[in-house]
Amino acid sequence: MRPRNSRRLPQGLLLVLVASVLAELFLLRTATRTLIHIPGIGDLETPIRVVAEAGRFAYYLAVVSVTVTLAILGFRHVRSAVPRRVIAGVATLAFLLVAAVGRLEGLPPHTAGWLTLAVLIVVTSMRWRGIGSIPVGLFVLGSVAAGWSSLGQVARSGLTGAQVDMLVLAAEGLLVLAGATAPLLLARPPTRLALVAGAGATVLVAAAFAGGASTFSIMVLWNLGVPGWLPGIAFALAFGGIVTAVWSAMASGDRVTAIGIVLLLGGGVGLISTYQTGLAVAAILLLAETAKMEQKQTVEMGSTADYALAGSPLT
Give the model confidence (pLDDT) of 134-152 as tens digits.
999 999 999 999 999 888 8
Average the pLDDT over 296-308 and give the result: 38
| Beta strand segments in 53-115, E | none
User: Is 183 inside any structural domain?
Assistant: yes
Contacts from 92-96 at CB under 8 Å and sequence distance 24+?
A: 92/119, 92/123, 92/281, 92/285, 94/119, 95/70, 95/119, 95/274, 95/277, 95/278, 95/281, 96/67, 96/70, 96/71, 96/278
Judge whether residue 95 has pLDDT over 90: yes
pLDDT: is 244 or 227 the higher one?
A: 244
What pLDDT, on the 0 to 100 scale, is given for residue 4? 41
Give yes or no for residue 8 having a pLDDT over 90.
no
- Average pLDDT of the residues in 215-221: 76
Structure-model confidence comparison of residues 181 and 33, the more confident one: 181
The verdict on residue 31 lying in a domain is: no
Number of domains in the chain: 1
Whether the predicted pLDDT of 309 surpasses 60: no
**Residue 160, pLDDT score:** 84
Give the SS3 label for residue 207.
helix
Q: Are 228 and 235 in contact (CB under 8 A)?
A: yes
Residue 199 or 295, more confident = 199
Residue 153 resides in a domain: yes
Handedness of CA 61, 62, 67, 70 (dihedral sign): positive
Amino acid at the residue 176: V
Is the pLDDT at 34 greater than 90, yes or no? no
Domain assignment present for 119 = yes
Task: Give me the domain span that covers residue 234.
Answer: 85-310
Q: Does residue 185 lie in a domain region? A: yes
Residue 55 lies in a domain: no
Q: State percent of the chain over pLDDT 70.
A: 84
41 falls in which pLDDT band (50, 70, 90)?
Answer: low
Beta-carbon count within 10 A of 160 CB: 10
* Alpha carbon distance 6, 290 (integer Å): 10
Residue 33 counted as domain residue: no
**36 band by pLDDT with thresholds 50, 70 and 90:** low
pTM: 0.85
Q: Report the chain's terminal Cα–Cα distance, integer Å.
A: 11
* Residue 64 falls inside a structural domain: no
pLDDT of 2 strictly over 60: no
